[in-house]
Amino acid sequence: MLQLFDFSLKLNGFDINKAKLALWKIQTLTDDEFDGYLNNKRSEVVAFHIQNNPFYKSLGENIDLNDWESVPVMTKRHLQQPLEKRLSDGYTTKNTYINKTSGSSGDPFIFAKDKWCHALTWAEIMDRFGWFGIDFNTSKQARFYGIPLDKKDYYKERLKDWFSNRYRFSVFDLSDNAFESVLAKFQSTSFDYINGYTSPIVQFAKFLKRKEVVLKSVCPTLKVCIVTSEMLFEDDKTLLETQFGMPIVNEYGASELDLIAFENTEDQWQVNSETLYVEILDDNDNILPYGKEGRIVITSLYNKAHPFIRYDIGDIGILSEESTLQKPILKKLIGRTNDIARLPSGKTAAGLTFFYITKSVIENDGNVSEFVIEQSHLDAFKIKYVSKNALSNDEKETISKAMIQYLEPGISITFERVAKLDRSKSGKLKQFTSFIN
């Protein structure tokens, strides 16, 4: 059978077969061999960027290659400058994989990965999904994600969905009416798995509960549901297991890095140690022992186009005491939750809707460094933002139009430029907050 998914990756310059083999070789290393592999990769990626990346060289002037703790911690703030200034020599926006972070932490930016690094990312994802019998070339995915409403980008996503053997349900309308058609699609399609944002999937499970329907009884081919991008609470996980009738798997990733952790078949959140190095640091950048809560700081071991070295992702977590270098276990992730937006018509939308809308704010020039959205009444939203220059009336108009297009007419949007935004205890910005009970 034609491996359509693998073929589409190769077509885009990602050598997936070579990446799968490289990943397998890393996974078969002994403990001692892995220790050597990790030390080599860490030193190698730092040395490469000191030599080939002027942006990183200025950041890492005092690095001693024999002392890992001398490597500085990077934050999203360091990255808020045009991408061209952050790329390594020989890499351009033409010969790398370019994408934009969702801004779920309130700090959006554009990033790059070299093609080999991105091929390894796909090898890692395919490996983890394989734990639950999912093959991207043959398994049909029910996808709960956003989709751009701009015609060109919309059809581009739909085409990608077709190549990837998946059907996308929009998370912008979570009404019972919308869910009736979602349910009908499950009844008529042999889906193998569900993948998508936590909150809309939880809303769908609540709808199924009201209807007293177990999803697997209407779509028996389903094997697993994999949720991502937002915190999955225990009671929601129980609800999903009950209403879907299949295992629920928690994925933790970051588009600029890779898959970070994936729940294995023993219910442990296994950290990706093959292509990333994950550390937990205290407020003074000291490495914490397993079992202690601190900032999640990640090194991408393969990205030569753009440095992500000791990169503070903005989350707080704990690595389990049972962790080893080769098999770290994420015991707890603190942060990453999104509210549901309720609208005057009675319609509801996922908080992640706003990540898509606010992408229209994000310019490559790094003007807007942070933003949050607050809902004070059913029809009243405020966008608070930090920027070098105030948004122009045209930019505000673009954002307001996009919000009305994605949500509904009759809502008012105001803007407030502030010097700094309040952060939660975890150091994260909650990008969307509803003050409606």
Of 246, 267, 294, the one marking the end of a domain is 246
Determine, yes or no, domain membership for 223: yes
Give yes or no: residues 295 and 385 share one domain: no
- Name the DSSP class of 87: S
63 plus 140 within the same structural domain:
no
Helix, strand, coil shares of the chain, percent, nearest 5, are 35, 25, 40
Per residue in 366-418, pLDDT tens? 687 677 889 999 999 999 988 889 999 988 998 888 888 888 899 999 999 99
Higher per-residue pLDDT: 250 or 358: 250
Which residues 6+ apart lie within 8 Å of 144 measured at CB? 168, 169, 171, 194, 195, 196, 197, 200, 201, 204
- 330-350 residue pLDDT tens: 998 875 545 678 899 988 887
Distance CA 61, CA 72 (A): 9
Q: How far, in Å, CA of 355 to CA of 146, rounded?
A: 9
**Helix 176-188 / helix 198-211 crossing angle, nearest 10 deg:** 90
Residue that the structure tokens 């959205």 belong to: 373
Tokens of 290: 């397993």
Q: Does residue 127 lie within any of the structural domains?
A: no
What is the domain range of residue 423? 340-434
In CATH, what number is assigned to the domain containing residue 9? 3.40.50.12780
Cα 89 from chain centroid (whole Å):
27
Whether the CB-CB separation of 269 and 331 falls below 8 Å is answered with yes
Q: What is the pTM of this model?
A: 0.81
Residues in the chain: 437
Same domain membership, residue 216 and residue 194:
yes
- Final residue before a domain boundary, out of 202, 222, 246: 246
Domain boundary among 280, 306, 334: 334
**Residue whose tokens read 């150091």:** 427
Q: Total structural domains in the chain? A: 3
Return all residues near 180 (Cβ < 8 A) that are at least 6 apart.
none
